[in-house]
Structure 1
Amino acid sequence: MTAFRLAANELRRLTAGTMPKLAVAALVLVPLLYASFYLYANYDPYARLSKLPAALVTQDTGADGRNVGREVADTVAKSGSFEWHQVTAGEAQQGVRDGKYSFAITIPEDFSAALVSSGDFTPRQATIRLTTNDANNYLSHTIADKVAEQVRGTIAEKVGQEAANRFLIGFSTIYGKTREAATGAARLAEGAGRLTAGQRRLADGAGQLADGTTRLAGGLATLENSTASLPHDTRALADGAAQVSAGNDQVAARAAAVAKGSADLRRDLDNVDDQLAQRLRGAGMPETQVQQVLTQLPGLRAPVDNADARIQDDSAQLARLADGSRQVAAGAATLAQAAPALTNGIAQASDGAKTVASGAASLNDGEKQALAGTTDLADGANQLRDGLNAGLSQIPHPGDPARVATADTIADPVTIDNAGLSTAGTYGAGLAPFFISLATWIGAFVLFLLLRPLSTRALAAGISPSRVAVGGWLAPAVLGAAQVLVLFGAVTWLVGVPVAHPVAAIAFAVLASLTFTAIVHALNAMFGAIGKFLGLVLLVLQLVSAGGTFPWQTLPGPLYPLHIVLPMGYVVDGLRHLLYSGASLPSLTDAGVLCAYLAGALAVSAFAARRKRVWTMSALEPELSL
């Protein structure tokens, strides 16, 4: 008798009546009831959080003309994330205590004031009060923590954006003022340069002035020395000039008398011509000779006329000389009178020149110091201009769009780029691999409530233990495969869990069912009624070590070996890959591990069948029967 015949006989035995058929149908539906209903109930609870009642209390009194708490409350209430109820603090407290509200968020009175406290350099954190009650639901506390953190993050981003915006506007203001300062520094440097040039020219002029006043003082001192005898000399000159003037007056008077005599002589000579002509005619001289004599007379008078002309000219010159001498004498007298004042003025000028020379020397020294100072000023102004221009390029001065974008980035500097290689989509889909695995094990477990692991007739007939073992496993394997097909149909079509590769996922789930039925079959074949208990123990151990909800690495250390040794962890891992992404090396490894478990379980069943060929009293009358 073959293993397939043994399996067919066992299935016919189970379906020999109406109730057995219903029992088999119930066994096939057990995994469906466990997994599909659980996944349906928890498919996407986050999408229904809007039905969860929560209290929102706003006590903020505002600050600086703004009530941020009220703005936040209005935003939260309009979000629709929960069934928000804006109530008083007392109503919220009582509602959370009575279970009317799952949790409460309270914005206190000083919320806005705390947010703006940093502007007064008295910073303090704004507080959002979260009120929860684990007696209502533990997960409500966890959800409330997430909500409060999101609200806090939103407020922090908003406040940070405004603060960063003001900060950047301050930078723009600083940039503008620094640019004005740089422009002023450039003008200062230009003016300092011109001042330095002018100061240098002034210093040169001061040096020249010092040299000139020194020479002037020296010259005036020499002049003072040279004119010290000027009053005496001018007095002597005045006296001499007076004497010369008196002598010239006398000479002029005598010359005038001589000129008068010469003029009289000339008039007398004019009369002599007529008298001489008359006397010659009276003497009987012929007229011709008279005329000849008269003709000779002008030649004879010429020396007299010439002498008279010179005398008249000399007399005029002597008169002018006398006038000039008188003027010289008057001027010399005036000079003699002014000479003392002149010498005193020269002495005073000499003293003043010495004082000016001393002051000019001091001025020269001061101008040199001033030149050094203005040179330093020009250098400093140039350095200030260059430094301001260099610093100006390092001061941020974004425009309005760039400033807003920068403020947004400063307020929320990190974003998450979700580059998931695969995604489950919903909470239920995320738990599907774990609950499908559990349902498959439970399905394999309940099959042996009705099925016999080994055929006693086949054992008694001496059929090969391996055929008896495989035959005893094939019947529950077929029913387990049916369980998986029904379960997958309900999970994918009715519940809506997405499957990336349906064929590969169903094939892997069928392999898992075959493996689990083989393991439970081996336990029942080897240990009988105790094997059913061991199957339940293994279910519990795999429930806590498979890593179906949290990553298995978060398990306590002593449970690590259970995760590695027991098969359900491999089933969960393989289903995750096939449901979310597709076949990969880990999923192929998981399939290989399940095949190894399947072969090992069948070997154990064959060993148990070999042992059952020897009948013992404990086998005929077992101490425990389930």
Structure 2
Amino acid sequence: MTALRLALTELRRIGASRVGRLALVAMVLVPSIYGGLYLYANDDPYGRLSEVPAALVVEDEGTTLTGGERLQVGDEVASTLLEKHTFDWARVDRDRADSGLRDGDYDLVLVLPRDFSSDLASSATNHPRQARLEIRTNDANNYLARTIANTLVSQVTASVAEQVSSTAASRFLEGFADIHAQVVDAADGARRLADGATKAASGAGGLADGADTLVDGQQQLASGADDLASGAGDLADGLGTLRSSTADLPAQTRQLADGARQVADGNEQVAAAGQRVAGAADALLGDLTQTRGRLADDLRAAGFSEDEVQTVLARVDTLSGPVTNANAEVQSTSADLDRLASGADRVADGAEQLASAAPALGSGIAQAADGSARLSSGADRLAAGQHDALDGARRLASGAHDLDDGLGDLSAGATKLSDGLATGADSIPDPSADQRRATAETIGSPVAVDRDAEAAAGSYGAGLAPFFMSLALWIGGFVLFTRMRALSGRALAAGQPAWRVSLGGWLGPALLGAAQAVVAFGVVALGVGIEVSHPVLLGLWMVFVSAAFLAVIHLLMARFGVVGQFLALVLMVLQLVSAGGTFPWQTLPGPLLPLHHVLPMSYAVDGVRRLMYGGPTAQLGLDVAVVGAWGVGALLLAALAARRAGTWTAARVKPELVA
């Protein structure tokens, strides 16, 4: 009897009755029912989140920005959520949300607190605060609602952060524009400052030269002030001496005036006497002349001859000569006496005037002495002040030179500042309004994601399909061996070769497993609607995997009998937790990692993924090798188990566990 006939015999045995045939059909449909219904139920759960009841509480009071704009982020977020209809949102107050969460009316509550907008706006101040969202869930209603809500809040947070970042970036760029304009103005001002500093430096040079000249002049003035002080001292001393020397001048001039008046009076009397003498002399001379004439007449009358008369007159003329001379002297002296009297009178008048002016002269000399003393004191102060002025002029000259040097440095620094500000102005961005808007949007959302996948699952259900399809094949094989015998006892009793009995015990379930795989593939691809990149290859792969799984289960049943069912169940659990069907296998705990690398379901899941999603298939060779090795190894070991089963023992005749 061939292995195929053994397999067909076992199939006829099971399908001999109507119930048996229904059982065969049911067993063929087990993987489809398990995998298909599960994937159908979880094909796109995120697409139906709009049916999940959720409460939205908006307490945000908004805020007013420094520019006068009104910021009301809470209402904007609420409007966005209601428009997108991510959940079945109900906008309610906090009390209704709390009671609804407790009673199970809502699976989650999202609260935007009253200071939400003001906290967001604080990012533009010196005291920024982090805005907060309140998310409340009740795991008694639904555990996954919390996970989904956290994802939602992350999206809301990212959206709000993008908006706030864009606003802040826009203001930041506007500040750059203002800074650029101000730096340009500052550069112009610095340039004017440099020009002014250059002119000031030139003026400071002239000031320094003038200060040096002033020092020279002050030195001369100081020297002159010293001379003035010395001369004023000498003048004061001389006037003091003159004052003391002329102290008796008024009295003396009075005495002089009185004596001069007496002299004048005496001279006047002398002149009067002289005038009288002169008159007498004139009269005498006239009398003498008259007498000479009368004498001549008398002599002529007496009969003297003319010669005699002349002789006598000659003798008389000899006598009248001295008289005439004396008269001339007297007249001359009288005239001198008149002049003397007149001069003495003028001298007396002058002496009187001098005597009258002497007190004023003495007072003037005293005043001049006092003034010269004050002049001397002032000259001393002037000399001291001039020396102070000289010191000040020297300090002014020193400061002027320092100012000249400092203004030179200022001019150089201002020029450097102007050049630096001009260079800095060129370095500061000066974007236009459109550029600021585009840059703000880029800063607010700096990263755009270009999604390009080597292979992509179309939905959540497609993502789970490789794992659950592989698990369904194992479950289907497990169910088959609940009704089918791993080894034919009749064949063993008839002495059939162990390998033939083993192969025949596997071949029947393998044929039904192939049917299970084909039906399950059709349900997933056509019924659930999951897109498959390589349908033919995936169908063949599922048949191949089913055959390998059945070989493993067949080995356990052939070697351990009823206990093999339990071991197959335990092996299914181990593969379920280590295959990496839902999360990346790298996230498994350390003790489970060796199981992932050894057990066949890990490679079955990997093969389904690559054939279902598309992409590189180089790894598929390893999957075929590992799954095939498990299948072939299991068949070889099952043949050994069949050989062992050919030996009858007491335990086999009366086993402790009966199927």
- Report how far residue 367 of structure 1 moved: 4.4
Which 10-residue stretch deviates more, 16-25 or 95-104?
16-25
1:459 to 485, 488, 492: 492
Check 1:202–1:526 CA distance in 2 against 1; reply closer, same or farther (3 A cut).
same
Q: Determine if contact 1:192/1:374 at 8 Å carries over to the other structure.
A: yes
Shift of 1:613: 1.7
- What does residue range 117-516 of structure 1 map to in structure 2 within 5 Å? 117-201=122-206, 203=208, 367-516=400-549
Question: In structure 2, what is the equivalent of residue 616 of structure 1?
Answer: 649
Q: C-alpha separation between the residues in 2 aligned to 1:194 and 1:389?
A: 21
Map of 2:108 onto structure 1: 103
Contact 1:501-1:582 at 8 Å conserved across structures: no
In the other structure, the counterpart of 1:50 is: 50
Deviation at 1:204, TM superposition (A): 5.1
Letter in 2 for 1:516: F
Structure 1 position 19 matched with structure 2 position 19 = yes
2:322 match: none
Supply the AA of the counterpart residue of 1:85.
A
Rounded to whole Å, the distance in 2 between the matches of 1:432 and 1:441 is: 14
Tell me, in whole angstroms, the C-alpha distance in 1 between the residues paired with 2:396 and 2:141.
96
Letter in 1 for 2:432: G
TM-score, normalising length from structure 1? 0.74
Look up the equivalent residue of 1:151 and give its one-letter code. Answer: V
Q: CA deviation at 1:583?
A: 5.5
- SS in structure 1 opposite 2:109? strand
- Report the identity percentage: 51
Q: Does 2:107 correspond to 1:74?
A: no
Q: Distance in 2 between matches of 1:87 and 1:360?
A: 87
Rounded to whole Å, the distance in 1 between the matches of 2:499 and 2:75 is: 77
Q: Answer with 168-177 or 428-437: which moved more.
A: 168-177
Q: Report the CA distance between 1:62 and its aligned residue.
A: 1.5
TM-score for both structures, normalised by structure 2: 0.70
Counterpart secondary structure, 1:130: strand
In the alignment, the residues of structure 1 paired with residue 491 and residue 395 of structure 2 have an alpha-carbon distance, to the nearest angstrom, of 138
SS in 2 for 1:550: coil
CA distance in 2, matches of 1:594, 1:550: 21
Larger Rg belongs to: 2
Does structure 1 conserve the Cα–Cα contact (< 8 Å) formed by 2:455 and 2:615? no
Does the CA contact (< 8 Å) of 1:189 and 1:381 recur in 2?
A: yes
Measured in 2, the distance between the counterparts of 1:217 and 1:608 equals 137
Q: Deviation of residue 93 (structure 1)?
A: 0.7
Is contact 1:62-1:111 (8 Å) kept? yes
Give a deviation string over 1:180-236, Cα, whole Å, max 9, x none. Answer: 0101111111222233334435555666787799999999x9xxxxxxxxxxxxxxx
Contact kept in structure 2, 1:504 and 1:583, CA below 8 Å: no
- Of stretches 39-48 and 531-540 in structure 1, the one that deviates more from structure 2 is 531-540
**What is the deviation of 1:4?**
1.8
| Letter matched to residue 187 of structure 2 | A
Q: Deviations over 1:114-137 (max 9, x none)?
A: 222344433322221111000011
Name the stretch that deviates more: 33-42 or 6-15: 6-15
- Secondary structure of the residue that 2:63 maps to in structure 1? coil
Query: Cα deviation per residue 1:436-475 (whole Å; 9 max; x = unaligned)?
Result: 0110001111111222211222222222111111111111
Instruction: Note the alpha carbon deviations across 1:110-165, whole angstroms, 9 max, x for none.
Output: 11222223444333222211110000110001111111121122112211221121
Q: Residue 29 of structure 1 corresponds to which residue in structure 2?
A: 29
| Runs of 5+ unmatched residues, structure 2 | 65-69, 227-378
TM-superposed CA distance for 1:572, in Å, is 1.1
> How far 1:599 moved relative to its partner?
1.0
Determine helix, strand or coil for the equivalent of 1:85: strand
Deviation at 1:504, TM superposition (A): 1.9
Is 1:577 aligned with 2:577? no
Counterpart residue identity of residue 13, structure 2: R
Query: How big is the shift at 1:423?
Result: 1.2
Bigger mean CA deviation after superposition, 516-525 or 546-555: 546-555
Going from structure 1 to structure 2, the CA distance change for 1:372 and 1:560 (only over 3 Å counts) comes to: closer
Change (3 A) 1:196 1:523: same
Q: What residue identity is the alignment partner of 2:92?
A: V
**Displacement after TM superposition at 1:409 (Å):** 3.0
Cross-structure match for 2:119:
114
Distance in 2 between the 1:7 and 1:413 partners? 65
Q: Return the offset for 1:556.
A: 2.3
Q: Distance in 2 between matches of 1:583 and 1:181?
A: 63
Task: Give the Å deviation of 1:616.
Answer: 2.4
Contact 2:454 2:615 (C-alpha < 8 Å) held by counterparts: no
Q: Which residue of 2 aligns with 1:88?
A: 93
Cα distance, 1:619–1:373 mapped onto 2, change above 3 Å = closer
Deviation, structure 1 residue 501: 1.4
1:316 alignment counterpart: none
**Cα distance, 1:503 vs structure 2:** 1.9
Cα deviation, residue 415, structure 1:
4.0
Cα deviation for residue 43 of structure 1 reads 0.4
- In 2, Cα distance between equivalents of 1:542 and 1:588: 21
Which amino acid in structure 2 is aligned with residue 486 of structure 1? V
Which amino acid is the alignment partner of residue 72 of structure 1?
V
Q: 1:38 — aligned with what?
A: 38
Q: Any conservation in 1 of the 2:29–2:516 contact (CA below 8 Å)?
A: yes
Q: Which residue of 2 aligns with 1:248?
A: none
Aligned equivalent of 1:343: none
Whether the 8 Å contact between 2:493 and 2:646 is mirrored in structure 1 is yes
Q: In 1, distance between residues paired with 2:175 and 2:57? A: 36
SS in 1 for 2:111: strand
